[in-house]
A and B are shown apart, each in its own frame.
Chain A
Amino acid sequence: MKALLIRDLQLATRAGGGFGLGLAFFLIVCTLVPFGVGPQGGTLARIAPGILWVGALLACLLSLDRIFALDWEDGSLDLLATAPVPLEGAVLVKAAAHWITTGLPLVLAAPLFGLLLHLPDAAQPWLVLSLAIGTPALSMLGAFGAALTVGLRRGGLLLSLLVLPLYVPTLIFGAEAVRLGAAGGDPATPLVFLAAITLAVLAAIPFAASAALRVNLR
């Protein structure tokens, strides 16, 4: 499993792997929003938590179809399915690799983007914390969507239709935590809910995703 993780990370960081693409996309979203709503700091500060979370969600969505598609094309997914490592474990590792290459950079760079959108300083730690707790769930749910659509020729659009509704609870609690933090409240409650969703997703979704993979591989 460790070897698989290292292999996936290497594939993602080599040329053409798309590493950092999500981050660049996130930057573009944060640049475009002020053009759309006007440069007033007050307006931006109000909508910043939502924009940052929606941006993170879309940036994560961007690279989802790569989780299994390349391995499916060159046949290494079949080898993974027959490997001594259970497929559930392989799915978990693949989602973890996706999180390290897209989710983790977002978490680390989020304060910078928060600055761009005039997010109040009090909310910055909550933004980082909520993204750190929430984005693993995004990667895992995305891996489930990617597993469902891996055999399809035009899976990309369908993937976003399948995955985005699943992101709703994570988005609600994540953005709510940042909003409460910005207003000076105590965001513990949404953060606890967020953590509960992430843990439940990490525990249960690998089974659903690998069931879908097995169907697609037969």
Chain B
Amino acid sequence: MSLWEYANPVKFMRLSGAVLPWVSVAAAVTLVVGLIWGFSTPEDYKQGSTVKIMFLHVPAAMMAINIWVMMLVASLIWIIRRHHVSALAAKAAAPVGAVMTVIALVTGAIWGQPMWGTWWEWDPRLTSFLILFLFYLGYIALWSAVENPDNAADLTGVLCLVGSVFALLSRYAVNFWNQGLHQGATISVAPGDRISSAYSYPLYMCMLAFFLLFLALLLVRTRTEIRRRRTAALIAREVRP
């Protein structure tokens, strides 16, 4: 009994089918509770009610990065061990990650307009997020352009590996190019200026909600991909005499 047994599509379908309703309900509950809790927090003395955008912005931005890391791990597993579920999971995660990036960028712009007086600023964090979004777009476009599914998985896997290095490189290169307007991290285990606990607990709840939401979407999309593969195989069998 090892983790790799779940790389078998049949086992994966059975397990994910059993887990999916629970994850979905948990995601919905935590999302509703987290957002209501977040929006009922007191207003910030400086930022007023705009501080509440944080409950969407921070979890989305966090997931946008984490989903890319998850795609990197899944691509590595596919390249090294050739488990199809892993390649399909990476494919399924990409559009979710792209949407998370857009959510982070849009909510950031909506917050930036009253606070910084501008919708967009060529700040290192903002710029590197835009670049991350471009990487997501390229990755999704390559998946849809290659017809043979195994070739597509291989090519996007290689692109994900190279892209990860360059996304990281860009993240630190833009620091060099322009000094930032975006605030630093206020949630960390290291001592320093920290977020007030009135805001941090709802924020943790929203982070958990976004993670569960991603997990639910990922399972649904991966199951769809597996079913699509099966349908294609069935059609291929029908066509062949």
Contacts and interface: CB of A to CB of B under 8 A. Distances in A.
Interface of A: 144, 148-149, 151-152, 154-155, 158, 161-162, 164-166, 168-169, 172-173, 176, 190, 193, 197, 205, 208, 211-212, 215-216, 218
23 contacts: A149-B145, A161-B137, A162-B138, A162-B142, A162-B159, A164-B134, A165-B163, A166-B162, A166-B163, A168-B166, A169-B169, A173-B176, A176-B176, A176-B177, A190-B176, A193-B173, A193-B176, A208-B161, A211-B158, A212-B154, A212-B155, A216-B151, A218-B151
A212 B134 contact: no
B26 interface: no
B166 A165 contact: yes
Contacts of A148: 142, 155, 158-159
The 9 closest A-B pairs by CB, nearest first: A169-B173, A215-B154, A165-B134, A162-B138, A168-B170, A172-B173, A169-B169, A172-B177, A161-B138
B174 interface: yes
A178 to B, nearest CB: 13
B154 to A, nearest CB: 4
A152 B146 contact: yes
Interface string B179-205: 000000000000000000000000000
B176 A172 contact: yes
B159 A168 contact: no
Contacts of B134: 161, 164-165
Contacts of A168: 131, 166, 170, 173-174
Most buried by B among A148, A149, A216, A218: A148
Contacts of B214: none
Given A158-B141, A205-B162, 4 more contacts: A148-B155, A149-B145, A151-B146, A168-B166
A173 B138 CA distance: 23
Contact of A173 (B159, B167, B173): B173
Contacts of A211: 154, 158
Contacts of B166: 165-166, 168-169
B210 interface: no
Contacts of A190: 176
A168 B128 CA distance: 10
Nearest to B167: A165
Nearest to B166: A166
Contact of B169 (A197, A212, A218): A197
Contacts of B158: 148, 208, 211-212, 215
A162 B167 CA distance: 12
A55 B161 CA distance: 28
A197 B176 CA distance: 14
A152 B145 contact: yes
B232 to A, nearest CB: 20
Contacts of A161: 134, 137-138, 141
A165 B155 contact: no
Contacts of B135: 165
A166 B146 CA distance: 20
B197 to A, nearest CB: 38
A209 B71 CA distance: 20
B123 to A, nearest CB: 14
Most buried by B among A155, A164, A166: A166
A197 B165 CA distance: 11
Interface string B125-144: 00000010011011001100
A148 B157 CA distance: 11
A162 B142 CA distance: 8
B82 to A, nearest CB: 13
Given A161-B134, A176-B176, A169 B146 contact: no
Contacts of A149: 142, 145
Nearest to B144: A158
A158 B80 CA distance: 26
B138 A165 contact: yes
